[in-house]
A and B are shown apart, each in its own frame.
Chain A
Amino acid sequence: MASLKSEDDQARFARVVQPHLADAYALARWLTGNRADAEDVVQEACLRAFRGIGGFAGVNARAWVLTIVRHAAYTWLGKNRSAALLVVDDLESIERQQATGGDASGEGPQTPEAALIEKADARQLETAIAELPVPFRETLVLRDVQGLDYREIAEVTKVPIGTVMSRLARARRRLMERVAMDETKGGR
């Protein structure tokens, strides 16, 4: 039980986990898609982190915390959004096929101008990111919103750096195409 933990564990938790609550919450929100569930996921993750605080090797606290948050979020997705994870499995196999087939460029019919992309507003970007399949979404969020480097993302998402690169490229391309689609529809 938590109350039997030593003072050292509590102090460690405060030092290792608590500084990264905002990052933990941000990742949980992007993965669950809403704030209330994100809070639940963060609480669950903190519980796991507290229990496992002795196992923290002391290298990269943020990556360690985010790894646990991601696990907790996946558990939550499995319970509440199992469809999202099913789709993910399909996409992963497609991704693997395409990777082995050598077609990693993903060049679509639409290649918007940089100036157009830069005009994208918050709502457009939020929507586009929310529509990304989970593995692409988490990679993009960890890099472009939360600022982790490739090595950290590989550690958190448990894939090789090459996969981080291809997922990131794919996620960004989807966002660009989505933004271009919004513009040509004349939505704004």
Chain B
Amino acid sequence: MTPPSDPRLLVHAYVDGELDPAHALEVERQLASDPALAAERDRVEALRRAIAQQLPRENAPPGLARRVEAALGLRAARAVSGPSWRALAASVAVAAFLGSGATWLALSPGPADADMVVANHMRALIAPQPFDVGSSDRHTVKPWFNGRIPEAPRVVDLASEGFPLVGGRIDVVGRNPVPTLVYRHRQHLISLSALPIGRATPMPPEQIAGYNIVSWAENGLTYWAVSDLAAADLNTFAKAFRTAGPG
């Protein structure tokens, strides 16, 4: 570029590292002989430091990527599309398997849906909030799903059983958006995803990457509960959900 002759403008370009060596040398010579110019350089550098410290780059709000995909009709493409949060979560999960020595899952074909359900749960725990809609009121949570997925899941509040509802979100398993309810038991969160039957068959309770999983079939859906709760407590939760009235 051809820099303008005004040395005050050139100081900005100098501070920003935009000058070629010849012009940078020229500015440095002027800075050495002109205290006012040197003071301007100090001010520009001070301002840049203040901005860098006080206004760090913000992350996109949680869920924005998913809303964009939904708006573009890309939800289904998510599973095949490059580095995404879910791919990240999956790689975290794989790393966790490898790290924990439970390498059989990473090496064998394994129950892929269970992996994805666990990855979704892990991702939810990493995110600022584990739900898209946060509410203990099932009359708020259930309608939220309407219009976002073909069929809203059964939503029941299990507070009286010690598992209060905290919200809901939409996960992606394979290429299907699936409803996930979030419950709490003491300090532990439970993700309960409802998958279309045929997509997944229930399996015996098991542990993946340190999370307990319980699954069962009900009314054309398979339910998958994931939590770091003890297996016995998670079974209690599953039983409470199954025996609760229609949501």
Q: How far is the CA of A161 from the CA of B3 in the complex (A)?
A: 9
In residues 61-79 of chain B, which contact A (Cβ within 8 Å)? Answer: 61, 64-65, 67-68, 71-74, 77
Asked whether A2 is an interface residue with its Cβ less than 8 Å from the other chain, the reply is yes
B74 & A114 in contact (Cβ 8 Å cutoff) = no
Q: How far is the CA of A168 from the CA of B47 in the complex (A)?
A: 12
| B 218-240 to A, binary, CB cutoff 8 A, 1 in contact else 0 | 00000000000000000000000
A122 & B39 in contact (Cβ 8 Å cutoff) = no
Minimum CB–CB distance from A115 to chain B (whole Å) comes to 7
Asked whether B125 is an interface residue with its Cβ less than 8 Å from the other chain, the reply is no
Given contacts A39-B67, A165-B13, contact A18 B84 (CB under 8 A): yes
Select B80's contact among A11, A111, A115, A144, beta carbons within 8 Å.
A11
| B 37-76 to A, binary, CB cutoff 8 A, 1 in contact else 0 | 0010011111111111011011111001101100111100
Minimum CB–CB distance from B86 to chain A (whole Å) comes to 12
| A 1-27 to B, binary, CB cutoff 8 A, 1 in contact else 0 | 111000100110111001101111110
A-B interface contact total, Cβ < 8 Å: 138
B57 & A26 in contact (Cβ 8 Å cutoff) = yes
Which of the four size classes fits the interface of chain B?
35 or more
B83 & A46 in contact (Cβ 8 Å cutoff) = no
Minimum CB–CB distance from B188 to chain A (whole Å) comes to 31
Given contacts A13-B74, A14-B82, A150-B13, contact A22 B8 (CB under 8 A): no
Minimum CB–CB distance from A140 to chain B (whole Å) comes to 8
Minimum CB–CB distance from B56 to chain A (whole Å) comes to 9
Q: How far is the CA of A1 from the CA of B77 in the complex (A)?
A: 15
A14 & B81 in contact (Cβ 8 Å cutoff) = yes
A10 & B47 in contact (Cβ 8 Å cutoff) = no
Please indicate the chain A residues that have their CB under 8 angstroms from the CB of B67 in the complex. Answer: 39, 43
